[in-house]
Amino acid sequence: MAEIFKGIPAIKYEGPESKNPLAFKFYDADKVVMGKKMSEHLPFAMAWWHNLCANGTDMFGRGTADKSFGQVPGTMEQARAKVDAGFEFMQKLGIRYFCWHDVDLVPEADDIKVTNARLDEISDYMLEKMKQTGIKCLWGTANMFGNPRFMNGAGSSNSADVFAFAAAQVKKALDITVKLGGRGYVFWGGREGYETLLNTDVKFEQENIARLMHMAVDYGRSIGFKGDFYIEPKPKEPMKHQYDFDAATAIGFLRQYGLDKDFKLNIEANHATLAGHTFEHDLRISAINGMLGSIDANQGDAHLGWDTDEFPFDVYTATMAMYEILKAGGLTGGFNFDAKNRRPSYTYEDMFAGYILGMDTFALGLVKAAALIEDGRLDKNIEERYASYRNSEIGKKILSGKTDLAELAAYADKLGAPALPGSGKQEVLQNIVNGVLYGKQ
Ligand code: XLS
Ligand code: NI
Ligand code: NI
């Protein structure tokens, strides 16, 4: 097999002092943090679509990056070349998982039977490579938003034929996920949403999405899929209103339709921020509901209101994210870099630089989050902040449900006015975080 990324060596850990752009400064796979190797804490995954397909095309201009890998775009030869490129890329970076949409793997034909035969062929080839390298599939999904037929969504489409077509794609994508031993199967609600209520029956559309998801669970379990299904929430883009707005909304939906036993959430940083939250907020909401499954690791731009899918480089956010993940006991899924190079970064070296940046950022986040936990002052403050419920008789009664409004009102009468609830100490705590992040330990 001819090397594709010629001149780019296997990426090694060289430490923070290294000036080599093609080396890790912080990601040291075997380094043990809180009892586990970095590589176990951080099961990184490559996103087939951004890394092997997207060439920088935007609304205003053609692609800048050549992702043909020496073959004619849109052919099966190119699809195979993408497999070669992807596995060489992952091996050189020490990445052990990948994620894909059906149409990232092969060109879509007019006839779904032809597309499906292509998927069978390419997945045979991927399986060979997986056996040779030990690299695994994190999750698969069906692209039910790109083709014009999905202009009104997939499960939420007004057309029963489009619904049926979406179901066929989900069925095949599940077949391939199982064939590749994928840990999960994702529903990102592509165009599951609406533009205007004037033409939309929201209740009908949401019920239909749930129907499609139930069918996916039934079929997946029937063919031996043991992993988690995931919803990947996103508030807007491409539709004005997306039904899976954020973690809390998606959890409510899953519970309402009885899907919460089979589904967890795949939280994408840039989607959480588009919803007006922080990444760590949606991680916390998922975790406390037992729904934290997997992560799309990227970041947005505070000055732009869309899904810019940048490689994560904000160490503070990565730290707060890893803090949530460590507290939740880790992920059953992994860290998929749903991220792309900026359009002017179009070289092969840039592809590696993006992943090195993302992996180093999360490695730093892991180390710093572990330091915050070991430091213990944040936990201690939380413990003290709610102590009145544990330490006072009335607090204990509230927690155990052994009181009522009448008793509490009588208590309040005796109290007169309660003392202020204690300082929030936000600035103190922020300075602790800075101390742990940047101080000499
Ligand atoms: C788009 C989503 C998409 C999903 C997979 O915004 O992030 O890439 O991760 O369909
Ligand atoms: Ni995503
Ligand atoms: Ni996204």
Residue 102 beta carbon below 6 angstroms from any ligand 1 atom:
no
Using DSSP's 3-state secondary structure scheme, residue 386 falls into coil
> 141 CB less than 6 Å from ligand 1?
yes
Distance 268 CA to ligand 3 centre (A): 7
| Residue of 84, 102, 104, 360 marked catalytic | 104
Radius of gyration of the chain (CA): 24
* Ligand 1 near 296 CB (within 6 A): yes
Ligand 1, residue 266: give the atom nearest the CA.
Answer: 9
pLDDT for residue 2: 92
State the pLDDT at residue 440.
67
Residue-by-residue DSSP string for 229-285: EEEE--SSSSSSEESS-SHHHHHHHHHHTT-TTTEEEEEEHHHHHHTTS-HHHHHHH
Ligand with smallest separation from the Cα of 50: 1
Domains contained in the chain, CATH given: 12-375 (3.20.20.150), 378-438 (no CATH)
Cα separations in angstroms, 429 against 21, 363, 414 = 35, 23, 35
Q: Is 104 a catalytic residue?
A: yes
Burial class from Cβ neighbours inside 10 Å (0-12, 13-18, 19+) for residue 164 reads: exposed
- Which residue matches tokens 């430490």? 15
Residues of the chain with confidence (pLDDT) below 50: none
Our answer on whether the CB atom of 104 is closer than 6 Å to any ligand 1 atom is no
Single pTM value for the model: 0.97
- 316 half-sphere exposure, CB direction, 13 A CA radius: 8
> What pLDDT was estimated at residue 195?
98
pLDDT for 386 equals 98
According to DSSP, the residues that pair with 37 across neighbouring strands are: 32
